[in-house]
Amino acid sequence: MCWGAISWGWKGPFFLWPATTKEEKQKAKEEIEEKNRQMAGETERLNAAWKLSEEWRNLREEELRVGP
């Protein structure tokens, strides 16, 4: 099982689990919730830093040029 979050103008964490039983799936769900709580501040910091990069500026300029 994998879980990740990537969208326009935002990057989130990506996790992998080999969940094969109900117990493993429940444990993975709990781990995801805990990691999300732990990573909330780090994710915001990394996204803020990324938005200062040339890569983000280029993507944003292309988005504005192309439009919705």
pLDDT tens track for 23-50: 988 888 999 999 888 888 888 899 899 9
Length of the chain: 68
- The reported pLDDT for the residue numbered 1 is 55
Could you list the beta-strand ranges (E) of the chain. Answer: 2-7, 10-16
- Report residue 51 as tokens: 């938005």
11 falls within a domain: no
pLDDT tens track for 5-16: 777 877 777 777
> For residues 40, 42, 43 and 49, what is the CA-based torsion angle, rounded to 10 degrees?
150
pLDDT tens track for 50-67: 999 999 999 999 989 887
68 falls within a domain: yes
Q: Which domain holds residue 67?
A: 34-68
CB 17 within 8 A of CB 28: yes
47 falls within a domain: yes
43 falls within a domain: yes
Cα separation, 30 vs 19, whole angstroms: 12
3 falls within a domain: no
Number of independent structural domains in the chain: 1
60 falls within a domain: yes
